[in-house]
Structure 1
Amino acid sequence: MIPSQPPTPAGSASLSVCVTCRQRTHEAPGYIEPGRALLAALAQRLAGGSVTVRGVQCFAVCNRPCTIALQAPGKWSHIIGDLTLAGDVDAIVEAALLYARTPDGIIPWAQTPMAFRRGGVARLPPPPV
């Protein structure tokens, strides 16, 4: 195992949502930016809990909108793409709460929501101490 920060106590996490992701449409101006609506829905659902929600400018995964990241000190980080407001809010909330409860940021595969299984972009280890 690669040395890293010790795991943090389970219980908190940060959920970042790209607000500049664009999806093509057949209507003018030719795209929509669904990240802002996803951010609003997630912020409402997770308000006052163990997961802090914030909007960020770009994860540079522009071909996989909407994209989010789950992070916490001492834990593995996850970048997940191909998420939708219509179909994935419940899965994101579920995964964020599971992630917050883990000591190391690894959600057991059997508990990982399908949206996260299909949309995984990257899993990053915690930075070294």
Structure 2
Amino acid sequence: MNRNTTHKITICTSCRHKGRTCRPSYELIDRLRLAVSAVGDAISEDFEISGTACMAGCDRPCTVAYHSTRKASYLFGDINPDDDIADLLEFARQYALLHDGWCSSVDRPGKLRSTTLARIPATIMAVEDTLERAS
């Protein structure tokens, strides 16, 4: 991966599929890394793919987040490592090209249209100049 990576995909590693003892998130991380490597230049930016402890999506595992500097972030749930890699890759392509990360649900690929748990606006900090001097 490029050291200047600005796009990240983060997958919850602490949750389990309800009623099952498997940990599908580690499998999802491996499959997604392989898929991103296989498409190479088809994704315009390098993506860092990693796991993290709880993302509070336990009722909707596997939980996947897309985030980047100065872009809206997305949290998706109900992701299946066996069925949803193509949709995750397509969204990575799309997300890399979106200037502010903002897209409507109808523009998201396949299953990601209906499994969005959150879209979080980019955090932009503004500092107001003031004419008064602190005393």
What is the TM-score when the length of structure 1 is the normalising length? 0.80
Counterpart CA distance in 1 for 2:108 and 2:35 is 19
Once the two structures are TM-superposed, the CA of residue 85 in structure 1 deviates from its matched residue by 0.9
State the identity as a percent.
28
Match of 1:115 in 2: 111
Which ranges of 4 or more aligned residues in structure 1 deviate by more than 4 Å?
none
Once the two structures are TM-superposed, the CA of residue 24 in structure 1 deviates from its matched residue by 3.3
Q: Counterpart of 1:98 in structure 2: which amino acid?
A: Q
Counterpart CA distance in 2 for 1:101 and 1:57 is 28
Q: Give yes or no for contact 1:12–1:100 (8 Å, CA) kept in 2.
A: no
Distance 1:60 1:110, change over 3 A: closer
What is the TM-score when the length of structure 2 is the normalising length? 0.77
Match of 1:66 in 2: 62
Bigger CA radius of gyration: 2
Q: Which runs of 5+ in 2 are unaligned?
A: 126-135
Q: Which runs of 5+ in 1 are unaligned?
A: 1-10
Stretch moving more, 37-46 or 47-56? 47-56
Match of 1:3 in 2: none
Question: 2:78 aligned to 77, 82, 104, which one?
Answer: 82
Match of 1:19 in 2: 13
Q: Counterpart of 1:39 in structure 2: which amino acid?
A: I
Q: Give yes or no for contact 1:76–1:123 (8 Å, CA) kept in 2.
A: yes
Match of 2:25 in 1: 35
Counterpart CA distance in 2 for 1:110 and 1:117 is 6
Aligned-partner SS, 1:55? strand
Q: Give yes or no for contact 1:50–1:97 (8 Å, CA) kept in 2.
A: no
Counterpart CA distance in 1 for 2:77 and 2:105 is 17
User: Aligned residue pairs: how many?
Assistant: 115
Match of 1:104 in 2: 100
Distance 1:81 1:109, change over 3 A: closer
